């Protein structure tokens, strides 16, 4: 018992000195990495909730999960049944954005999930900010790539 404790403490110190900031454990049942775990691996703090009907954020009949990253920055995560339904929603959302006069969110896709990042910065060019211009863009990009890679998406 004592040897296991010492080995665990030694492993923790090795990881800590190697610059690992977060250890993410896949879901015990499925072996998949959840989006929430991927966000945590990039030290992205959030408050999760369901978007309200009054927010009018449904895309193709799906109400998103809302991840508030700060008072001004949010992720809307749309979970579709198939990647085809997600692609159709992506196309629909792109068309809607052309009609709107506001700045566009940054779009991320992961198989059957459409993820929209609403940020609080005016883009330097065009109507969409580059991920490096936003507070969480680069971290989100890494988290979503990790999520996709781990889940073989």
Segments making up each domain of the chain, as ranges: 26-150
Tell me which residue of 42, 10, 25 sits closest to 136, measured CA to CA. Answer: 42
Q: What is the DSSP string of 34-90?
A: PHHHHHHHTT---EEEEPPGGG---BTTBPPEEEE-SSS-EEEEEE-SSHHHHHHHH
pLDDT band at 69 (very low <50, low <70, confident <90, very high): very high
| pLDDT for the residue 25 | 44
- Decide which of 63 and 8 is more confident: 63
Q: Any idea how long the chain is?
A: 153
Q: Tell me, yes or no, if the pTM score tops 0.85.
A: no
Tokens coding 47? 């408050």
Query: Is 129:137 a contact under the CB 8 Å cutoff?
Result: yes
Question: Cα–Cα distance between 3 and 145 in angstroms, integer?
Answer: 37
pLDDT in tens, 24-59: 444 444 557 899 999 999 999 999 987 777 666 788
The rounded distance, in Å, linking the Cα atoms of 140 and 117 is 9
CB 97: neighbour CB atoms within 10 A? 17
User: What is the phi-psi region of residue 93: left when phi exceeds 0, alpha when psi lies from -120 to 50, beta otherwise?
Assistant: alpha
Quick: pLDDT tens for 114-134.
999 999 887 777 778 889 999
Q: Decide the pairing of beta strands 106-110 and 65-68.
A: unpaired
């Amino acid at each position: 018992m004592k040897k296991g404790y010492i080995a665990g403490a030694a492993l923790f110190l090795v990881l800590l000195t190697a610059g690992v900031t977060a250890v993410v454990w896949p879901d015990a049942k499925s072996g998949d990495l959840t989006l929430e775990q991927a966000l945590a691996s990039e030290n992205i703090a959030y408050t999760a909730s369901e978007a309200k009907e009054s927010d009018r954020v449904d895309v193709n009949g799906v109400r998103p999960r809302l991840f508030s990253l700060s008072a001004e920055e949010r992720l809307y995560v749309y979970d579709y049944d198939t990647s085809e339904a997600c692609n159709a929603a992506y196309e629909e959302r792109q068309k809607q954005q052309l009609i709107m006069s506001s700045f566009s969110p940054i779009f991320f896709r992961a198989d059957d999930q459409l993820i929209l990042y609403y940020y609080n910065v005016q883009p330097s060019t065009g109507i969409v900010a580059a991920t490096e211009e936003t507070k969480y863009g680069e971290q989100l990009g890494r988290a979503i790539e990790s999520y996709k890679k781990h889940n073989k998406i």
